[in-house]
Amino acid sequence: MEIFTGLSVVLSSPTLLMWIFAAAVIGMVFGAVPGLTASAAIAMMLPLILYMDPLSALAFFYVIGKSGRYGGSIAAILFNTPGTAASAATQLDGFPRSQMGQSSKAMKVATVSSAIGDFIGELLLIIAVGSLASIALKLGPPELFAVYLAAFIIIASVISESVVKGLLSAVIGVLLGTVGLDPITAEGRFTFGWYQLDGGISLISLMIGIFVLGEVFEQLEHLYEDVKLTSRKKASRSDSNLTWKEYRPCLPHVFRSSLIGSGIGLIPGLGSAIAAFVAYSEGKRRALNPQDWGKGALEGIAAPEAANNAVSGPSMAPLLTLGIPGSTIGAVLLGVFMMLGVQVGPTLLLSSKSLVYSLFAAGLIGIVIYGLVGYYAASWLGRMILNVPTRILYPLIFLITFISAFSSRGSLFDVWVMIFAGLIGWLMRKLKFNLAALVISFVLAGGAEEAFRQSLRLSENGVLIFVERPISLIFLLLAAVVVMWRVHQTRRIRNTGKPKLHLSLEE
């Protein structure tokens, strides 16, 4: 099988293994810092692509995404502050268990469950990606544009608290993605006379600005509000160790949640936050001791963590086969593929099969590494992060963003683009717009435009080609149904006064 060939490629390269190990640690650290995410880590590290071969670069950023999802559990358990949106479900039982003086035990449960869920999700991706790619090869430009358009609409409406704000976020992303020279006429679009924009907005500058600088601006508003550990019992050796007898009841929840997370990961726009909460609810419903959930139940930690990380592998399937990311991490990874000149889509497995399966193998090894590091060092890592004051940490990150933006092309203009993107990210957070919809739309805009123009050249009836083709019509109807459902859901919630659960895709 190709995966064994990929494993031999990865294991035979000490340099590649070093990058995977570094990615596992970096992702954990960023995931554990409240306010930062794996997307922020990837954005800040993007200039390193200039010094890496394609497989090392892809493996590095792929593993950061995996370990970053897991790292959020460290902040949730230790600080009662979820490091990622998905770890809010882990917080429900993780922090109460920590207050009992068993934070190390809680983090070991989270680590083992995350690794198992991630491993199952990765295996399902390896098994299914070939079949999905063969189906995707049968799609023509009209069908691909319908898929792009459905992705814009569904992702923007489902992951946003407001349907209107979600769609507007997607529109802004598309507009930013069209900046530069027209690919056919070579006329400038939204360049305002600046030749630096002829090639479009720098992906690195935009990502760093949106994900990192925007978050830094928000955190600087609370510069002197350092996170404090709540009082808890002093841990004994037995409280820190995890025994097989304690973890065995968690296994049914882990396997069930892994399948839930894998299924949700295949659907663009849902993501790990929804998977974690669905798994938690289903686990509590089936639990033998549901009254203990929310009070420190180990099963209540295991279920959401398994689902959270099980999303990681399957969420790559629509990205690799259709070129459509289902999360912000996927959008940034798509940007990495583009920067490396790797064409993501239906033909990827035909043109770069060895690269793809080596990437999967790197993901499996990354799971083992962050699992081992997290099991033995997560508690120490969390407390180390806590000892770095916010007033030092975020100004330091602020300086690093300037270095990262400038180093990518040695251009001060890119730094100004980053600052502008950071202000946009900060304002969008304030106004409750959706950053994930903006970034995904920005990255997909070029492919959608190309598919749209190719479709029109194939058509004798103009835009009617999109309703004449059955598959494209199905995707357009699906998008319309999702929007109507979301509008109905929003009105029903407004009329009944029930609180809304807003799950962000900013992982």
Residue range 27-41, pLDDT digits in tens: 998 888 876 778 888
d(CA 12, CA 343): 26
Rounded to the nearest integer, the mean pLDDT of the chain is 83
d(CA 402, CA 482): 40
Judged against a pLDDT cut of 90, whether residue 212 lies above it is answered with no
The values of phi and psi at residue 189, to 5°, are -125, 120
pTM of the model: 0.84
d(CA 150, CA 478): 7
pLDDT band at 259 (very low <50, low <70, confident <90, very high): very high
pLDDT value, residue 144: 85
Judged against a pLDDT cut of 70, whether residue 483 lies above it is answered with yes
- Residue range 149-199, pLDDT digits in tens: 888 787 777 666 677 888 888 889 889 988 888 877 778 888 887 888 888
d(CA 243, CA 222): 40
* 8 Å CB contact between 96 and 294: yes
Judged against a pLDDT cut of 50, whether residue 455 lies above it is answered with yes
pLDDT value, residue 505: 47
d(CA 141, CA 445): 14
pLDDT value, residue 231: 45
Of residues 281 and 326, the one with the higher pLDDT is 281
Q: How many CB atoms lie within 10 A of CB 150?
A: 22
Residue from 147, 163, 142 nearest 466 by CA? 142
Phi/psi-derived region of residue 84, left when phi > 0, alpha when psi is between -120 and 50, beta in every other case: beta
